[in-house]
Structure 1
Amino acid sequence: MLSRRAFLTTSASLLGAGAAVGGYARFVEPEWLDVTTRELPVRALPPALHGKRLVQLSDIHVGPRVRDAYVRDTFARVRALRPDIVVVTGDLISHHVGQFPHAEAMYAEMPLGALGTFVSFGNHDYGINWQQPDVAASLRSIMENLGATVLVNEVAVVAGLQIVGLGDLWGGAFRPERAFAQVDPALAQLVLSHNPDTADLPGWGSYNGWILAGHTHGGQCKAPFLPPPILPVQNRRYTSGAFDLPAGRQMYISRGVGTYLPVRFNVRPEVTMFTLRAA
């Protein structure tokens, strides 16, 4: 039988361990940024882009739950990578009072790619309940004034690489047919789409390249060796990292920089640096 002293000692140890894990999940891991490096093979990639660096930022969530100092430190680390292309795959902000001047001040410090910077929007960029397109319009104006190119079912070409930015699914702006109608199939292509569930929807035509996504935060919290219990997607396979898809397509889901709820456990925040290669 467990003695009273042993019970109290065990209870105190468990409480202490729980407090330590809680403190780590709240105050350590949410800002323990992981700079992931990997190659990104692109079909028909122009020779001038071989070996160039493309950095993906996602889910920065500028707002009251993500410290400005952490965002600035993240931007400094990206700047040190000397990216040729920077892409942002949505959720630039979380809704809050003063969100536009706050976003303008913070994103004025975001490093731009030497060849270009391209932004697609996520659900949080559409305001409360993702139902405020005027919020996305204001954010678009801010980002374009700061030197980024915002793509909502639009295509931009950088050194022969077509970057296709799709509209956000939850924001009601996902129109892939409109975007791919602007694509030259003979040229290299890369797609930005915030929500990974869009990969399972129709409208992709003959596209068979990479999709860069975010939205999931990797689940934010999960036990070791187990899938995350909460994911904001219908396809529970879409957690984080690289995925093979039908029709020869592939998708990379970033764990994101920031958080909406300020805790992470076993899912560190991420900036991804891709080296472009010819497929």
Structure 2
Amino acid sequence: MAIVFVLVALLVVAVLVTGNWYVWRRLFRDTTAGPGPVRRIGAAVVVGGWLLFIGGMVASRTEAPFTLQRVLAWPGYLWLALTLYLLLALLAGELVRPLLRRVLERRARASAPEPARALIPAGRAASADPEPVQSPEATGSTQDTTKGPEAGATTEEGPATDGSGPSRRLFVSRVVGGAAAAAAVGTVGYGTYGVLRGPKVKRVTVPLAKLPRAAHGYRIAVVSDIHLGPVLGRGFAQKVVDTINSTQPDLIAVVGDLVDGSVQDLGPAAAPLAQLTARHGSFFVTGNHEYFSGAEQWVEEVRRLGLNPLENARTELPHFDLAGVNDVAGEDEGQGPDFARALGDRDRARACVLLAHQPVQIHEAVDHGVDLQLSGHTHGGQLWPGNLIARGANPTLAGLDRYGDTQLYVSRGAGAWGPPTRVGAPSDITVIELASRQA
């Protein structure tokens, strides 16, 4: 097992090193005519960005001073997102390079004088008029004209047969590299703005067969994956709370991954949760990140703030049962999900809504006759093409789905983990409106 772990670790390191070398080469080496400060600065940026990211991760895991965590987390996590989209944009640029070269070569051939055009082989056309070449007999010289840099010498960037090859390659590299950098910066910038401005409200109607007519139109505000931490703090929490309260829900469900850090560091950031207002109260279940951050302390803290933790527990509301189970990450601490405890002795004639952080818990919910499970955890993939990986690891990536007689709704979450950036998976707070089939 240890050998497999080492081999996988070496493979990951090799992929990271190769990918970053490729980014450096395309952005800095291929866009400069020779060694110089630009290449050295580029290498420092690439290495420095990864050192900040690694430092931020280590600081968060070793309980370093919270101020240090914030200083390292912002640039480090943003560099991670930027590297991903630089790599994707540069790989896409490989398809453009040969097309751009071909266009430049055709233009060069078209602009060359007629006599010279016949002497220029296809694919090597000059971008400017070539200087006339005189024969030795005309000049009286017996010098070997095939020598020297003008006639086949090579430079670091490639052969310089006609003086135009290197300049064309530089031009193509600079255009592609500049476009890739602009696309990556724009993508990360817009994705970060989308997170920091706060989640938007999404409304979904869910019919429940057992829901009585009196509960038709009952509104549950579902929020998950807020991820308060070194990047998203009190101001972000206040936006989330204000958005939830603006929907005037009957009940609020916070379905895990509220924090990334200790109560000592993030207690002030979570304080706005005390302002949550709903007719039947606010309820909370743990996510996997709570177990990285001191779950027991956070359960007590959210209770102090006025939320009702459902630790493998159930409460009977006027028209349906509301239950909650711990996240599967709690199993390592003897605090894992216990469906029998939460649901085993309930009246199955009543409708039941279950709060469970991870969508994979749906199968147990089906076995226990749950009508609707509310989950988060996936972030909808957060950073495209991460949705492809997340889709393979979860039964439902986002939205409403059905498993037998049980429906599952998965929120994309309000915040972000790691980079405060979302691409192709906008954040949301969902208002679930329950519908009675008797209405």
Normalising by structure 1, report the TM-score.
Answer: 0.86
Deviations 1:32-86 (A, max 9, x none): 5221101122232233322122110111112212142222112111111111111
Q: Distance in 2 between matches of 1:127 and 1:23?
A: 29
Contact 2:372-2:409 within 8 A present in 1 as well? yes
Alignment match of 1:115 (pick from 280, 283, 291): 280
Q: Which has the higher helix share?
A: 2
Paired amino acid for 1:272: T
Contact 1:176-1:204 within 8 A present in 2 as well? no
Q: How far apart are residue 30 of structure 1 and its match?
A: 5.3
Change (3 A) 1:249 1:97: closer
Q: Distance in 1 between matches of 2:378 and 2:365?
A: 22
Deviations 1:194-224 (A, max 9, x none): 0111113x4753414111001111110115x
- Which of 1 and 2 has higher RCO (CA within 8 Å, sep 6+)? 1
Between 213-222 and 19-28, the greater mean CA deviation after superposition: 19-28
Change (3 A) 1:32 1:112: closer
Q: Distance in 2 between matches of 1:97 and 1:117?
A: 19
Deviations 1:206-258 (A, max 9, x none): 414111001111110115xxx71442x8744421111221x311101100011
Between 169-178 and 10-19, the greater mean CA deviation after superposition: 10-19
Q: Distance in 2 between matches of 1:141 and 1:7?
A: 57
Contact 2:256-2:284 within 8 A present in 1 as well? yes
Normalising by structure 2, report the TM-score.
Answer: 0.56
Q: Distance in 1 between matches of 2:196 and 2:423?
A: 8
Q: Distance in 2 between matches of 1:203 and 1:9?
A: 54
2:37 matched residue in structure 1: none
Q: How far apart are residue 276 of structure 1 and its match?
A: 1.6
Alignment match of 2:401 (pick from 223, 243, 246): 243
Paired amino acid for 2:203: T
Q: Distance in 1 between matches of 2:272 and 2:198?
A: 20
Q: Distance in 2 between matches of 1:64 and 1:55?
A: 26
Change (3 A) 1:56 1:84: same
Q: How far apart are residue 10 of structure 1 and its match?
A: 3.6
Alignment match of 1:221 (pick from 359, 362, 383): 383
Change (3 A) 1:235 1:41: same
Change (3 A) 1:97 1:189: closer
**What is the count of residue pairs matched by the alignment?**
266
The share of aligned pairs that are identical, in percent, is: 26
1:132 matched residue in structure 2: none
Contact 2:366-2:406 within 8 A present in 1 as well? no
- Mapping of residues 189-200 of structure 1, within 5 Å: 189-200=352-363
Larger Rg over CA atoms? 2
1:145 matched residue in structure 2: 304
Paired amino acid for 1:153: N
